Structure 1
């Protein structure tokens, strides 16, 4: 039997995404033999190793900004926008800053230590049925330290979990047995390589896209035995510990994992994997060919070559649909599981309603793009693909979803600018 591992990335409050992935793996019946984690991925990894999903979720559902650090300040765009006034934001930040300076350059995370101590049983972690490794960074050399947690003394397990997540300079440096440690992020934020060294033959790598950068050793992501799961877009601030984004991150982690293992489909949005999905994808290509006067066989050949066989027809339809309609859907609607035809119908309805209002800049812009697209000459797929590349070509072809789903007759002319 294949020895499977789960590798968990660091990323502060974004780690709630991994809790959603945890839920999905349980629901799918996918087990694993090894867990590796860095920073918040190490803290979550303790629960992955013991299999204690409910305790892990409860920790995240109970967390608050004040529960992470004394006089905690919620560092997020949402917090700034929702504050009653600039004075309230400034007062909160100044309290945090005063405490930060008082402690000589680190926040007081005593509340978080209590949270972790109450939630994680070091004896259970040491005796976990799965091998568990964490990554931290040793000062002053900034060298990577990889530890098998099951081999640590019980009284060192929690300190090393904090060492892995000591996000200096915000969080304090962790000192253990005379040695100083900081966050493992600085060397290896997604420890896939460590999982292989611990004996894994297949790795499920759950990334948080922290700062929208690739993890170290990103070449490993292209291996056929690495299953990569990550949010489609940035999740936001790693220091936003309010419950609304945490709940959203958990939901997206669940949906993205279910999509990665074929239960659902989609990219930014999530769609039921309906029986007629492939037929709908073929219908899209047939209509696309008719709209552009391209012989069906040549159309299929051109598109397949252009996307370098990266997508099936139905996947191509999906992303094209999302590109066209995503400005018309809210952030919260990304958390829903959609029927594709329902999504298209609602998107079309909103598009038509929006374009009738000349003050609706999004609707008017989409309408202008649509009229430009249908007025363009027939598509020379092969040449255009070579000229613009895959990303531009799929955007161009996405515009033909308008005539495909019979919007043309209902649309007015765009407002003059």
Structure 2
């Protein structure tokens, strides 16, 4: 595929949600099984991770195997300098960075099989930043997942970049700018009631961030649907989805994403097929 293509008809828009991003694996598996094609991948936060792996050509089975092998120490480690206030976060993505250097089949945007956009937030400008077409992949990918205060910012082109979800967790507008007429997506930020009393500052911060993402997402969805944008959405239902850094429910979350995408999108394939032209008289059907 020509990754320089400037327009796309159908975009996968993959948003944030931490470890709940495992649902995007099941979502990807289902759309492939349903024969639903896409021309562009747009990812923010954990959606940048999955989006990059999908755009690089990783199969649903390969992505599932990668995710099901993940444990928290494979993704994050303590950032002792951060605990001392010397850097901008008390966790580090150093383990994930090492894993991606091994697992990612390509290293640059130009080498991808599908066009990709990664969203980050530029701390200096206060604006979303969209990385596409050219350059290295891992730095913007890590930056897009770097929740402020929890992970240190990533320096890109002289500026500090953090989680894309801060400014544009669901990059509908960027997909539309690239020519998308239809958007396929799954929400990973649903916030079912949690009666557990939260005590640690980190758990309070992560839960609050998830609530903020979900609220922003619902407002953005309503605004774009009011404009008549074709957004095909899976909004999963689950009771205890786990926290942003809880990798103990990966298999169950993949299954939820897969099952609910099949149910939500089962009619999409037939709806996309144009009506057959009438046959001339005398030609058997």
Q: Which TM-score band (shorter chain)?
A: 0.7 to 0.9
C-alpha spacing 1:125/1:60, structure 2 compared with 1 (3 Å): farther
Alpha carbons of structure 1 residues 224 and 180: separation in structure 2 relative to 1, 3 Å: closer
In 2: Cα distance, 1:170 partner to 1:133 partner = 24
Name 1:137's counterpart in structure 2. 121
Whether contact under 8 Å (2:34, 2:266) holds in the other structure is no
Specify whether residues 117 and 10 from structure 1 end up closer, same or farther in structure 2 by C-alpha distance, changes over 3 A only: same
- What is the deviation of 1:47? 2.0
Residue in structure 2 matched with residue 68 of structure 1 by the alignment: 75
Mapped partners of 1:127, 1:140: distance in 2: 29
Asked if 1:27 is matched to 2:9, the reply is no
- Cα separation, partners in 2 of 1:124 and 1:177, compared to 1, 3 Å: closer
Measure, in 1, the Cα distance between the counterparts of 2:256 and 2:150. 27
TM-score (norm 1): 0.52
1:229 aligns with 2:234: yes
Q: Is the 8 A contact 2:45 2:145 kept in 1?
A: yes
Deviations 1:112-143 (A, max 9, x none): 11122222133475332321111100013321
For 2:259 and 2:124, the matched residues in 1 are separated by: 41
- Measure how far apart 1:63 and its partner are: 0.8
Larger radius of gyration: 1
Kept in 1, the 8 Å contact 2:139–2:156? The answer is: yes
Distance 2:82 2:107 in 1: 33
Q: SS in structure 1 opposite 2:137?
A: helix
Q: Structure 2 CA distance, aligned partners of 1:6 and 1:233?
A: 22
Instruction: Look up the match of 1:159.
Output: 139
Match of 1:101 in 2: 83
Aligned equivalent of 1:14, options 14, 20, 23: 20
Residue 162 (structure 1) shift: 1.0
3-state SS, counterpart of residue 42 of structure 1: helix
Distance of aligned partners of 1:25 and 1:134 in 2 relative to their CA distance in 1, 3 Å threshold? same
**Larger helix percent:** 1
Aligned residues: 231
Q: CA, structure 1 residues 124+24, in 2 after alignment: closer, same or farther (shift >3 Å)?
A: farther
Superposition deviation, residue 69 in structure 1:
1.7
Matched with 1:254 is 258
Return the offset for 1:236: 3.1
- For residues 5 and 117 of structure 1, the distance between their equivalents in structure 2, rounded to whole angstroms, comes to 26
1:198 equivalent to 2:178? Answer yes
Q: CA RMSD for the aligned pairs?
A: 2.2
Cα distance, 1:246 vs. partner?
A: 1.0
Distance 2:16 2:225 in 1: 16
Q: Which runs of 4 or more aligned residues in structure 1 lie more than 4 Å from their structure 2 counterparts after TM superposition?
A: none
Instruction: Tell me by how many angstroms 1:99 deviates.
Output: 6.5
Instruction: Structure 2 unaligned segments of length 5 or more: list them.
Output: 1-7, 190-209, 268-285
- Bigger relative contact order, structure 1 or 2, given CA contacts below 8 A and separation 6+? 2
- Asked whether the 8 Å contact 2:56–2:105 carries over to 1, the reply is no
Match among 158, 161, 167 for residue 187 of structure 1: 167
* Equivalent position SS for 2:32: helix
What is the 5 A alignment of 1:400-411? Answer: none
- Structure 1: segments with no counterpart, 5+ residues: 72-95, 264-417
Paired position in structure 2 for 1:276: none
Inter-partner Cα distance in structure 1 for 2:15 and 2:167: 12
